[in-house]
Amino acid sequence: MAGWSAIGGRLGQIIAVQQLGFLQIFAMAGDIVFSIGMHIGVLLLILAILDYVYQRFRIERSLRMSKQEVKDEMRSMEGDPVMKNRRRQVAQQRAMQRLKRVFQSGCCRDQPHPFRGGVEIRSGKNARSQSSC
């Protein structure tokens, strides 16, 4: 196909080669060979680009993980379910201990409203005083 597209327009010249001299025949043959080479080169370049795109697409698809592989990966990252539950229990226990310490300190009981920032309103001689927190 590439060779025919290069020769097709010069068919008349190729037939008339009998009337040309020796050097003219070599010049025309060199020009035709160069033209065929360029057509084949362009065709191979287009095929190479298409092959590159296809191969890249195929490799990207083959590197994807299946749904089962994703699940297995997530399980392995999370670790053993028993250890996961134990970590959760320890975290809950620590959070409860912190809350108990806050409530046992009495700081939250003295403040009538969380936005007052430790200021109590008392009736009597000291109308306003700072709490201990």
Interval 114-123: pLDDT, tens: 555 555 555 5
* Pair of tokens at residue 63: 């590197």
- List the one residue out of 14, 90, 113 whose CA is nearest residue 3: 14
Is residue 104 classed as helix, strand or coil in its secondary structure? helix
In this prediction, residues 86-103 reach a mean pLDDT of: 89
Q: 2-22 pLDDT, tens per residue? A: 667 777 777 788 788 888 888
For 40-63, the pLDDT digits (tens) are 999 999 999 999 999 999 999 998
CA dist 3 → 30, 32, 35, 39, 42 (Å) = 14, 9, 8, 7, 12
Q: Which helix (H) or strand (E) holds 129?
A: strand 128-130
Q: What is the mean pLDDT of the chain?
A: 79
| Interacting residues of 120 by C-beta distance below 8 A, sequence separation 6+ | 110, 111, 112, 128, 129, 130, 131
Taking residue 37's Cβ as centre, other Cβ atoms within 10 Å add up to 13
| Model confidence pLDDT, tens digit, residues 65-92 | 889 988 888 888 777 778 788 888 999 9
pTM equals 0.46
